[in-house]
Amino acid sequence: MRLDDFAHLDFDRAQRTGVPEVVLAEGKADADLVAIVDAFVAGPGRVVVSRLAPERLRLLENLDAKLDYHERANLLEVSAPHAPPVPRTGGRVLVMAAGTADAAVAEEARLMAEAVGCDTRRVYDVGVAGLHRLQDAHDAWSWADVIIVAAGREGALAPVVSGLVDRPVIGLPVSVGYGHAGQGEAALSTMLQSCSPMAVVNIDAGVVAGMCAAQIANRVAQARHSPGESTPPQELVMRREQP
């Protein structure tokens, strides 16, 4: 659907990819943002608005829709009266944050995973400056299908976690840090150089991390519910043939 000359909306994204449409509020004029969100309310009935500053929330308050605003993540979930509830998939996503300053991006990722039907848990402020704090995360690791690790500064928590667990880890570098390679660059480099297995998204890309984790977790949940069709990744066992 085209809106004048400023937007070409994808109403079929959720059906095609399993993830909802996400509208980035940053950089959009107020009138354009309202028109885009209103079109989704009238159409498929559901949309997520990311990077929405609290003072801009008032722009959308007159829409015929339920607004769930999460201030820490600056993320808004919009659902029209005709939109069915998001089905719960049984996918399990654990979100970890190295420091309290990383929690905003971590929350963006966690909320996106929930928007795709996953159950989530969080373990925050467990950075490598106090590795003993990771001891309390063992039960959460065992529960999770996928783990997102958000970390700024040197970003060391992500490769540490990925070297301790037997399930997919998604590194989420955060633009927390200063001086040489600050603003997330050092964290990104650390995660990309990890010798323990993990995937890495861009700096502050909480939406992408949450979507990727949810897609993986949902496939694992599907296999868990239908064990005869496939085997969840964390239950695979590699065997070497005996000579």
How does pLDDT run across 42-67, given as a tens digit for each residue?
A: 988 999 999 999 999 999 999 999 99
Helices and strands (H and E) in the chain: how many: 7, 11
Which of these, 220, 196, 71, lies nearest to 144 by C-alpha position? Answer: 220
- Confidence bin at 243 (pLDDT 50/70/90): very low
Confidence of residue 228 (pLDDT cuts 50, 70, 90): low
How much is the pLDDT for 227?
64
Whether 199 and 168 have beta carbons less than 8 Å apart is answered as yes
Structure tokens at 155: 């970003």
CATH number at residue 133: 3.40.50.1970
Residues 191, 133: one domain? yes
Residues 28, 135, single domain; the answer is no
Question: Domain check: are 190 and 152 in the same one?
Answer: yes
The pLDDT of residue 203 is 98
Question: Is the pLDDT reported for residue 32 higher than 50?
Answer: yes
Q: What is the pLDDT of residue 112?
A: 96
Q: Which of 69-83, 127-141, 217-231 has the highest mean pLDDT?
A: 69-83
Does some domain include residue 239? no
Confidence of residue 7 (pLDDT cuts 50, 70, 90): confident
pLDDT tens digits for 108-164? 999 999 999 999 999 999 998 888 888 888 888 999 999 999 999 999 999 999 999
Which pTM was predicted?
0.88
pLDDT at res. 135: 83
Residues 70 and 122 in one domain: no
Residue 55 shares a structural domain with residue 99: no
Which residues, in sequence order, are bridge partners of residue 121? Answer: 94
Q: Which residues pair with 200 in a beta bridge?
A: 171
CATH number, domain of 75, equals 3.30.110
Same domain, 72 and 98: no
Contacting residues for 1 by C-beta, under 8 A, at least 6 apart: 8, 9, 11, 39, 43
Mean pLDDT of the 198-217 span: 97
Total number of domains in the chain: 2
pLDDT band at 84 (very low <50, low <70, confident <90, very high): confident
Pair 101, 73 in one domain? no
Whether the pLDDT of residue 187 is over 70: the answer is: yes
In terms of residue numbers, what domain contains 143?
Answer: 92-225
Show the tokens assigned to 171: 């590194």
- Are 63 and 109 in a shared domain? no
Tell me: pLDDT of 39 over 80.
Answer: yes
